Amino acid sequence: MEAIVLAGGLGTRLRSVVSEVPKCMAPVAGKPFLWYLLSYLGRYPEVNRVVLSVGYLREVIFEWIKVVGDQFPFSIDYAVEEVPLGTGGGIRLALSQCTGDDVLVLNGDTMFDVDLPHLLAAHAQHPDAAVTLSLRHLQQFERYGRVSIDESHVITGFHEKQFCADGLINGGVYVVRRSRLDLSALPERFSFEKDVFEPHVHERDLYGFVSEGFFIDIGIPEDYRNAQFEFLERYCNYDTLLLDRDGTINERRPNDYVKTWSEFQFRPEFLRWAPMLGHTFRHIFVVTNQRGIGKGVMTEQVLADIHRQMCQILASDYGLKVDDIFYALAIDNADPMRKPQTGMWQKLLEAYPYVQAERTVMIGDGDCDEAFARNCQIAFVRV
């Protein structure tokens, strides 16, 4: 089985949070999103070759694959779009590099954890199928168009995006039968969804395979943020978590410091994910710059009281137990203890020698946190 991954998307809707890499390379839980797609395919020995359909900022993908490509149990080749070809043009170009009749296709911005042997078996049951689409059941959605099927699983309609209380959507994983699908008459650039799927409804040669596997589309900022935590829980093997404090655990005070417990306010987003973090990680530490002490606007005793109450609530109400807190008091940004310098990390490793960088991830909200994680050679998640 050959697989195509559509990795040439511009990611326009994601530009506000990811702008310097193609959408499939957007970092999720410390790894490029493409890493999860290739790791998913690597779970199935049926897949022996992957063709990446690339275009926008493709050099980023080329360089990354040079480093990590040997981790995956299949060969990796490229179909290069010199100009944007749309989903249809990209698939047609990649199909021209495939040799088998049945080819798996994955959207490069969607994770749909479909059981591939069951999908392929369902496809094989219908020799007349041009494409078998994996469909996901959702409730209360409006981002996706609804797909309807009959009792024989023949797809009978693709419906416009609008609010739907309950229905099936195209999950972005499908099997194309090349001998049943002639794309030669279509223009250079076209949409696979609009120009292939919708017309073929009348041919009754599209089939649906319904799966309840994990599904997430990172195409918009809100879902991209949710994916950070979903993937930490489902797909990562980190056992140690470092947490920034201000802006991550609690709300920042504009142009001020959190000087008393009454000024401390948990971030609602953090509390929503705190129970998951608590049961996912064996070791949890806070690393925080506290320049306010160095400036004399608060004392270490007050800081200790804030941290005591913070940790007590996180442990008792959300199941997140903080093992230890490391903080830097210095005013000077160049001080070795202050992020992004690695002093707090070195101190942590001395106190807890079982912590391993390759199994550690940090969650933070700023460039300073990201630089700290990079200097410590640990994974990073920005919130």
Enzyme catalytic residues: 244, 246
The torsion angles phi and psi of 265, rounded to 5 degrees, stand at -135, 115
What is the dihedral angle through the alpha carbons of 81, 87, 88, 89, rounded to the nearest 10 degrees? -10
**Of 285, 287, 249, 286, which is closest to residue 269 (Cα–Cα)?**
249
**Of 222, 202, 188, 205, which is closest to residue 152 (Cα–Cα)?**
205
Helices and strands counted in the chain (H then E): 12, 18
DSSP 194: I
Report the SS3 class of residue 286.
strand
Give yes or no for a contact between 74 and 46, defined as CB atoms under 8 angstroms apart: no
Query: Which H or E element spans position 316?
Result: helix 300-318
Give yes or no for a contact between 26 and 14, defined as CB atoms under 8 angstroms apart: yes
Question: Strands of 324-328's sheet, edge to edge?
Answer: 324-328, 283-289, 240-243, 360-364, 379-382
Give yes or no for a contact between 206 and 200, defined as CB atoms under 8 angstroms apart: yes
The whole-angstrom separation of Cα 58 and Cα 55 is 5
Give yes or no for a contact between 371 and 334, defined as CB atoms under 8 angstroms apart: no
Residues forming beta bridges with residue 103, ordered by sequence position = 2, 176
Q: In this structure, what token pair is assigned to residue 256? A: 């001020």
Q: In this structure, what token pair is assigned to residue 86? A: 């749309």
DSSP 107: E
Q: Give the residue carrying structure tokens 């504009």.
A: 254
The whole-angstrom separation of Cα 68 and Cα 64 is 6
